[in-house]
Amino acid sequence: MTVTSVTVRVPAKINLQLAVGPPRADGYHGLVTVFHAVSLFDEVTVVAAKADSVTVAGEGADQVPADGDNLALRAVRALRTAIAARDGAEPDAGPDGWAGAGGWAGAGGWAGVAVAIRKRIPVAGGLAGGSADAAAALVACNALWQAGLSQQELCEVAGGVGSDVAFAVLGGTAVGRGRGEQLTQALVAPVAYHWVLAFADGPLSTPAVYGTLDRLRGDQAVREPELSAEVMAALRAGDAGRLGAALSNDLQAPALSMFPALRKTLSAGREFGALGALVSGSGPTCFFLAGDERQATDLAVALSSAGVCRSVAKATGAAPGATLVARLSPWPPSGGISGDPAGRSSRALR
């Protein structure tokens, strides 16, 4: 059956550990990180169209590229290329080329997509919002085109789109190596962690934060990053107090040097009883671990009242990765259905 529209929900991430090695020959830094998906979600809808396009609404929409530089559109193109390579077709094939099992074939024989992003994850906040949207686009187009790629295959495509995109496909809690795209699912206790996210009034550039880290390190020898045994032990035990004490981020020092107001945010969270406090990724979002839901509520209220951040949000983790929440198909299907109510033009499959 032809699918005309797919909606996917995708989570933000925080880094429970982010260890950064020296710069590599390709300009990236080797990483060891512990990703953790939290219940702050964007939604991405893809609709069959004659040409690719993207629209963005919600949190920080005016800061998101609405052209070919948009990471979600880059993911769409990468998925097309991967499917064409698998099927021995060309992305610009004629009518006999691949257009998905139920895909819409335009004049060039390929399905265009209109991508609509509804954001709650702040832009340039250290929460991988752009990567999340790219992951959602991969999962959505895989369903729209009925391409049949597995989650592992989608993660392989995602690794070529951006460093954090594969984790947003996977979700949960995972160890990332390389640029962060080499993932291993972490062994964790089945417990929910309660987090408070404090959003800063302004963004931080990830490349600039890495550049500041290199300058702060100067000529000192930098060891290759290693996985924190303490973080992993805390996760296996499901011990929030132990996890809070073990949180670490090599990018926190450069982020604080570039955005000094974050020091006050972190200090306030600790004073209000957080079990752990850290800058998320390259910042400037700060996150705080609470002992339970009630403490998270109290902490969120206290941080908001203290005026040390733009806004706050509560979240739990670990959250699932990019998840299909709705599909639309033409109604009635080809051949019709007996007793179909008059005037009905589409249906949602959940």
The residues assigned a catalytic role are 13, 164
Reported as type and span, the H/E element at residue 297 is helix 293-306
Tokens of 77: 């193109």
- Cα torsion 201, 31, 119, 116 to 10°: value is 140
Report helix angle 261-271 to 293-306, nearest 10. 140
Amino acid identity for residue 252 in this structure: Q
Report whether 129 contacts 51 (CB < 8 A): no
Residue 48 to residue 103: CA distance in whole angstroms: 8
Distance CA 162, CA 235 (A): 26
Q: Integer distance in angstroms from the first to the last C-alpha of the chain? A: 15
Sign of the torsion formed by the C-alpha atoms of 236, 185, 75 and 159: positive
Could you tell me the two tokens for 273?
């009883």
Q: How many CB atoms lie within 10 A of CB 170?
A: 24
- What does the alpha-carbon distance between residue 60 and residue 183 come to, in Å, rounded to a whole number? 29
Place of tokens 């895989």: 142
Greatest distance between any 2 Cα atoms in the chain: 76
145 near 82, Cβ under 8 Å? no
Report how far residue 245's alpha carbon sits from residue 242's, in angstroms, rounded to the nearest whole number.
Answer: 5
In the block, residue with structure tokens 């070919």: 68
| 3-state class (DSSP) for residue 122 | coil
CA-closest candidate to residue 16, choices 277, 307, 321? 277
Q: How far apart are CA 305 and CA 322, in angstroms?
A: 33
